[in-house]
Structures are given as C-alpha cells and as structure tokens.
Amino acid sequence: MSGNRERTYIMIKPDGVQRGLIGKIIQRFEDRGYKLIALKMQSATTEHLEKHYADLKGKPFFPGLIKYMASGPVVAMVWEGLDAVKTGRVMLGATNPLQSPVGSIRGDFCLAVGRNICHGSDSVDSAEKEIALWFPEGVTQYTSALDTWVFE
C-alpha cells in the first residue's frame, strides 16, 4: 500500500456555505474514498480564527481574512485516508482559484483568492494542530465495512 493513512482538517468557508456548496465538497471527498470522521457547523469567533490563522498574522490581507471567515458559519471536518493531507490540498486546488486546475474544487467553483470557499491543512503537523483546535472534544472512531450496513 503506498501513501500514509492520515487525517486532515478540511473546512468549508462562509462563502462555500452561503453558496450551497457543502454537499458538493463533501461528495468529492467521499467519492475519492476518504472517510469522514468529524463534522460540525460553527460560527467561529474572531479569537478562534486568529488562532487558526496565527501564521498569517502580519500579512496585509489578515484583517480582511478574519472578517471574511467570521462573516458566517463554516463547516469543520476531519477526513481520513491515504495521503489525506497532500491529496486533500490537490483536490482543493491552488490558493488562488485562477491558478487552480479545472476539476479541483476551487478550479470549478470560485474565482477570487479572498473568496476561495475551502481550507485544507498544509502538513500532517498542521492537521494535528487544526484538528485539536476545531475539535477539542475529539473525533469519532468507527469501522466503515459496508456489509453490516447493507445486509441485515
């Protein structure tokens, strides 16, 4: 088996929620074979978002980014599977949607860097920190063998 079994933090940003893209984004991760192990909708506080984006403090776009992220609820998710961090980022596309290939989430659904509808952890280390920040209560453990759920 190539690739590592990993967990990544994927977030649908307020514009993705408002535009009704939650189902489509989740569908792509399910279709690819990733397993959803945590999901919640949350209106994040400015303080919480500043922790999430602590690395970007000082960037000129930081205040606008926090305002955008606090403008409505986000969908916070943890996905698990082979190479989830790197492949998750490939599925999202480039930070700037105009540089995202068609077929990626950003390449198919958005245009502006400041309205790029989704977030994905950029390393296994960041994923661990982001999962702990957004899911301090922990995540679910379950088996996904289909037989039990299709046949009585």
The answer to whether 61 is annotated as binding is yes
The nearer residue to ligand RTP, 65 or 75, going by C-beta atoms, is 65
In the complex, minimum distance from the CB of residue 23 to ligand RTP, in angstroms, rounded to a whole number: 20
* Residue 129 vs residues 29, 71, 149: alpha-carbon distances, Å: 21, 23, 33
Among 7, 52, 86, 119, the one annotated catalytic: 119
Interface residues with ligand RTP (CB under 6 A) are 56, 61, 65, 95, 113-114, 116, 119-120, 122
CA dist 144 and 109 (Å) reads 30
- 48 included as an active-site residue: no
Name every residue whose Cβ is closer than 8 Å to that of residue 7 and which is 6 or more positions away in sequence: 37, 78, 79, 80, 84, 127, 128, 131, 139
In the complex, minimum distance from the CB of residue 125 to ligand RTP, in angstroms, rounded to a whole number: 14
In the complex, minimum distance from the CB of residue 95 to ligand RTP, in angstroms, rounded to a whole number: 3
The answer to whether 19 is annotated as binding is no
Residues identified as active-site:
119
Binding residues for ATP: 13, 61, 89, 95, 106, 116
